[in-house]
Amino acid sequence: AEWTATILSSFYAMSGSALGLDIDGTITSAPEYFSALSRAWRDAGRQVQVISSRSDYLESRSETLKELRRLGINFDELHLLRPPGKELTPCPYQNLDWFQVYLWQKVAIAQERGVSIYFDDDEKVVRLFRRYAPKTRIVHVGADDLPTVVDLVRSQRHMVD
């Protein structure tokens, strides 16, 4: 990977930018890329939030933590979604169906944790972010090309300016 001192110093210049990653279809589609990206992001003193649609049960959490370690993902927190009606942050949008409300938890978690760039492969999640979190840069994995670290730094500088 091309993590030069110049690029890393650009990461340090960004204020409060956290990286958000989905697991299934995202991290699992390019584990080497996300391992390098998460490592560089954390090495630069930034937060990495893993936000997955997997259900938040003890066994699921334990297996997911093992999987992330095996894939070499460096992160600060793992967020798994709660069943409908048990969300930590209730969805304020009455126009969403039950499944959109379930997925909206990803948007709420990302906003609460200061995520400025979020990677997900699910079109429904991408639409929710674009509608309800327009300041978050969303990378639609599988539809968009994975950005280089230089692209990410440029996008962060633009967001901070």
The token duo for 20 is 């958000």
Alpha carbon distance 18, 147 (integer Å): 16
Mean pLDDT of the 41-48 span: 90
Half-sphere exposure for 38 (CA within 13 Å, toward CB): 26
The token duo for 130 is 């674009």
What are the backbone dihedrals phi and psi of residue 71, each rounded to the nearest 5 degrees, phi first? -80, -5
- 16, pLDDT greater than 80: no
**Higher pLDDT residue, 111 or 87?**
111
- Could you report the per-residue pLDDT of 105-127, keeping only the tens digit for each? 999 999 999 999 999 999 999 99
